[in-house]
Amino acid sequence: MKGLIHQREIISQIYFIRGKKVMLDFHLAMLYNVETRVLKQQVRRNIDRFPDDFMFQLAVSEWKELITNCDNLGAMKYSPSLPYAFTEQGIAMLSGVLRSSRAIKINISIMRAFIRMREIIDENKELRNKLDALEARYDEQFRIVFEAMRELITTKQKPVPPVGFRINKQSKNEGDSDND
d(CA 159, CA 129): 49
Amino acid identity for residue 163 in this structure: V
Cite the beta strand spans of 25-161 per DSSP E: 55-57, 84-87
Domain ranges of the chain: 7-123
Confidence of residue 1 (pLDDT cuts 50, 70, 90): very low
User: pLDDT tens-digit profile of 34-57?
Assistant: 999 999 999 999 999 999 999 999
Residue 114: CB atoms within 10 Å: 20
User: pLDDT tens-digit profile of 75-134?
Assistant: 777 777 899 999 999 998 887 888 788 888 888 888 888 888 888 777 777 766 766 666
CA-CA distances (angstroms) from residue 104 to 60, 89, 107?
Answer: 31, 14, 5
Domain 7-123, architecture per CATH: Roll (3.10)
| pLDDT at 179 > cutoff 80 | no
CA-CA distances (angstroms) from residue 78 to 14, 36, 42, 158?
Answer: 20, 15, 23, 76
By the 8 A CB rule, do 94 and 106 touch? Answer: no
| pLDDT at 140 > cutoff 80 | no
| pLDDT at 156 > cutoff 60 | no
Rg (CA), the chain: 35
d(CA 104, CA 102): 5
Helix (H, G, I), strand (E, B) or coil at 141: helix
State the chain's mean pLDDT as an integer: 77
